[in-house]
Amino acid sequence: MRTSESITLDQFPVGSLVSNASREIIYCNSYFAQKYGYTVNELIGMDFFSLLSRASQIMYDSYLMPLLLREGCCEEIRLTMITSASEPIPAVVSARLDNNDERRIFWSVGHAARSEQLFGELTEARKLLQQKVSLLHTLSNTDQLTGLPNRTALTRHLSQKIEEMKSGELAFALAFLDLDGFKEVNDRYGHDTGDKVLRLVAKRMTSNLRSDDLIARFGGDEFVILLHGRFNAGMAEESLNRLIRQIEEPLKIDSLTLQVSASVGVTLYPQAESITPDQLLRQADQAMYQSKLAGRNQLSLFNVDNEKHQKERHAELLAIKAAMAANEFELYYQPKVNMSSGELLGVEALIRWNHPVEGLKAPVTFLPIITETQVGLDLGQWVISSALEQLQTWLSEGLDVHVSVNISGYHLQHPEFLSNLTRALATFPDVPKHRFEIEVLETSAIEDVEKVSLVLSSCRMMGIRVSLDDFGTGYSTLAHLRDLSVDMLKIDRSFIKDMLTSPGDLAILRGVIGFARAFQCDVVAEGVETYQHAQSLISLGCDWGQGYYIARPIPASILAEWVTDWINTGFHKKFSRPPVLPITELKE
């Protein structure tokens, strides 16, 4: 083995030179001489400049030497060396001034070909890495099914547009679109077909809007559209209604011809007050739900002027949703009886809110808030299921009772009302359907009597009884009684309240009772508050009553006790009295 003392610079695979202050070469190793086609003796005494190209000579004087004099060394300077055959060869040069003798410079000269290759490889690797990063960025912002921007990209773009607005950019319209009937396609034909529907709808939307408009898939069958430019309400509605018509055209998928439609909500920006992207999306989403409730396949514009009211209502809706999740709602039950015989006709389910702070809250304090909202639909469905469950429990315990629930007109008109009702009934197979009754608020059903009539007829075909609640308080009452298939009329309490002193109310009562007989309906009076009310109604031919004189709404847990007391003593205590003056003898 060789010792370190026997190793020389001639054995290093790199060129080594030493020059003096006059650029004269005073030493070179054999590797450098051979690399550039010289002998060592030829190089000794040669001007270092003669080994450099003209450009490298300029680099030597203007950059390399000033750097050496200032810092004492320089690393990896790219120069061009000239061989003995006048051939230019790129080189990587490092230099250092002798610490002991600043007149000498030590040079290390490496061939740049390998460096160029490594540099090229690094450049290519960097390019590939950038492509991968770009691809990952694209994938993270793109919906893989439709190729549209996803929710992440939408949120970022929406935030950017709002920031641009602060600099005076143009306005925009934001639309929230949800497909109608898509769930039925998925359920009937499978998710593969559903995915194809989504791709075709996405393509159709893209082709029918301007190239600078943004269409993003928000999730499921929901899409968000950002219409750029100074849009007013009319322009946005015109553009989006055109899109709705395009979407509802038949879709050809394999051998199938399918059809879906779209419900759209739209809001405009800027607004009077500052607003976040999430708030804008919520506005458009709320407007879309209005389109759903109004019958679907249409557009609704968010009313920005009512934004404050909407915010308050939204907070109240969230509180009600939280109360539902916390099981704070409870059904109370108010009996309906035959005031002549004491027979129990049934009980009406009435919702109450056991508020943790405000105590027991009546429906008038929260039902108006959820009217015509998804929360209202959900709570209505909860009432139906809870009432059926309670009815099943009572029947299993031997309590002979019928239960009725109040159903709003907008709930009856919802496309999935009958299917949801059917599923609820199937959940409680031991409940005879004729013991369950729907009470329809007459004034809320007048918007689409024909549709409501079909729904009620379907309910009666299933065996469910139907009542028309608050009869006489709306308009077109006779037309409703003619068109709606019902089993019972409920006289509104407002006519009962003053029947003993108001000839007008008394005449209405006679008329309603006569209508009920003519249309072969039973009739029950609400708001029976006194014994005199009860006896007067009986004298008019209305035996069935409901009100505080008979019983207030009571919790389900004590209904059986109330029924037992009513049968044994309650009825006799309240109705075994001398008769009052016959109603026919009242002064009119």
Residue 146 located in a structural domain: no
Does residue 355 have a pLDDT over 90? Answer: yes
- What pLDDT is recorded for position 473? 60
Residue 98 located in a structural domain: yes
Same domain, yes or no: 167 and 288: yes
CB contact at 8 A, 521 and 489 = yes
Same domain, yes or no: 517 and 377: yes
Q: List the CATH number of the domain containing 39.
A: 3.30.450.20
Q: What is the pLDDT of residues 162-202, one digit of tens each?
A: 887 765 555 788 999 999 989 999 999 999 999 999 999 99
Residue 3 located in a structural domain: no
Show the tokens assigned to 376.
């209202």
Q: Of 253, 268, 302, which residue constitutes the final position of a domain?
A: 302
Residue 276 located in a structural domain: yes
- What pLDDT is recorded for position 250? 92
Number of separate domains in the chain:
3
Using DSSP, state whether 487 is helix, strand or coil: coil
- What pLDDT is recorded for position 303? 79
Does residue 139 have a pLDDT over 80? Answer: no
Same domain, yes or no: 385 and 526: yes
Same domain, yes or no: 210 and 294: yes
Residue 2 located in a structural domain: no
Q: pLDDT-based confidence at 439, cuts 50/70/90?
A: very high
Q: List the CATH number of the domain containing 175.
A: 3.30.70.270
Report long-range pairs for 125-134 (Cβ below 8 Å, ≥24 apart).
none
Same domain, yes or no: 56 and 176: no
Distance CA 485, CA 453 (A): 6
Q: What is the pLDDT of residues 505-529, one digit of tens each?
A: 888 888 888 888 888 888 999 999 9
Q: What's the average model confidence in pLDDT over 409-417?
A: 87
- What pLDDT is recorded for position 449? 74
Using DSSP, state whether 543 is helix, strand or coil: coil
Mean pLDDT of the chain: 85
Same domain, yes or no: 98 and 198: no
For β-strands 403-407 and 436-441, DSSP reports them as parallel
Same domain, yes or no: 199 and 62: no
Using DSSP, state whether 81 is helix, strand or coil: strand
Paired strand residues for 47:
24
Q: Of 251, 268, 302, which residue constitutes the final position of a domain?
A: 302
If we measure between CA atoms, which residue out of 408, 367, 407, 402 comes closest to residue 388? Answer: 402
- What pLDDT is recorded for position 472? 61
Distance CA 525, CA 584 (A): 18
- What pLDDT is recorded for position 588? 35
Does residue 11 have a pLDDT over 60? Answer: yes
- What pLDDT is recorded for position 164? 76
Residue 454 located in a structural domain: yes
Same domain, yes or no: 545 and 418: yes
CB contact at 8 A, 209 and 241 = no
- What pLDDT is recorded for position 581? 44
Show the tokens assigned to 265.
């909500």
Q: Which helix (H) or strand (E) holds 17?
A: strand 15-19
Residue 124 located in a structural domain: no
Same domain, yes or no: 244 and 324: no
Same domain, yes or no: 423 and 566: yes
Does residue 126 have a pLDDT over 80? Answer: no
Same domain, yes or no: 234 and 335: no
Q: pLDDT-based confidence at 227, cuts 50/70/90?
A: confident
- What pLDDT is recorded for position 508? 83
Q: pLDDT-based confidence at 9, cuts 50/70/90?
A: confident
Does residue 156 have a pLDDT over 70? Answer: yes
C-alpha of 378 from chain center: 16
Vertex 208, ends 207 and 210: CA angle to 5°?
90
Same domain, yes or no: 385 and 463: yes
- What pLDDT is recorded for position 409? 82
Distance CA 194, CA 179 (A): 11
Q: Of 302, 328, 358, which residue constitutes the final position of a domain?
A: 302
Higher pLDDT, 144 or 272: 144
Show the tokens assigned to 93.
């040069």
What domain range includes position 486? 318-585
Q: What is the pLDDT of residues 59-84, one digit of tens each?
A: 898 888 888 888 889 998 888 889 99
Look-up: residue for tokens 């055209």? 249
Does residue 389 have a pLDDT over 50? Answer: yes
Residue 307 located in a structural domain: no
- What pLDDT is recorded for position 582? 43
Q: pLDDT-based confidence at 480, cuts 50/70/90?
A: low
Paired strand residues for 538:
none
The fraction of the chain above a pLDDT of 70, given in percent, is 86
Q: List the CATH number of the domain containing 485.
A: 3.20.20.450
Q: For residue 232, give Cα distances in angstroms to 225, 238, 268.
A: 15, 10, 7
